[in-house]
């Protein structure tokens, strides 16, 4: 599957008193990147809820924190669909510090996201329109 890259700058509010990104904020960065990935495919989450009655919910996250990001760093959140499944998506997400030579990997996560019915909160198949777009960019 193709990579989607979302740039992030680390603001003071993202850090602890030592200027290091607080661990939970990496999850926020990854959530934003997945939202922008979906938007880049042509889907807005509020429209998916209204028109198709589906939501996406994180089922599990496995995170490997390798190096800290620091105040004012320029980062990239690299998002790839590893495996589209019947009612879920498995993402590989990497957060790297931008560099003119070689990006430095700071965090790697495997994120499992379930497609759920917005009313019943039960798993449902991925909409065909989303499956087709994922296949088109892959």
Catalytic residues: 16
* CA-closest candidate to residue 30, choices 70, 71, 65: 65
What does the alpha-carbon distance between residue 94 and residue 108 come to, in Å, rounded to a whole number?
4
- For residues 11 and 28, is the Cβ–Cβ distance under 8 A? no
In sequence order, what are the residues at sequence separation of 6 or more whose Cβ sits closer than 8 angstroms to the Cβ of residue 7? 74, 75, 76, 77, 98
3-state secondary structure of 103: coil
- For residues 10 and 70, is the Cβ–Cβ distance under 8 A? yes
């Amino acid at each position: 599957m193709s990579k989607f890259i979302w740039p992030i700058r680390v603001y003071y509010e993202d850090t602890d008193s030592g200027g290091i990104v607080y661990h939970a904020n990496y999850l926020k960065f990854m959530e934003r990147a997945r939202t922008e990935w979906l938007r880049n495919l042509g889907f807005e989450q509020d429209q998916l809820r209204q028109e198709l009655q589906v939501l996406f919910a994180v089922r599990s996250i496995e995170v490997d924190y390798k190096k800290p990001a620091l105040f004012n760093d320029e980062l990239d959140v690299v998002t790839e669909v590893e495996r589209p499944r019947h009612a879920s998506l498995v993402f590989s997400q990497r957060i790297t510090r931008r560099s003119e030579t070689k990006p430095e990997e700071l965090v790697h996560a495997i994120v499992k996201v379930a497609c759920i019915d917005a009313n019943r909160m039960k798993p449902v198949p991925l909409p065909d329109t989303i499956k087709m777009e994922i296949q088109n960019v892959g």
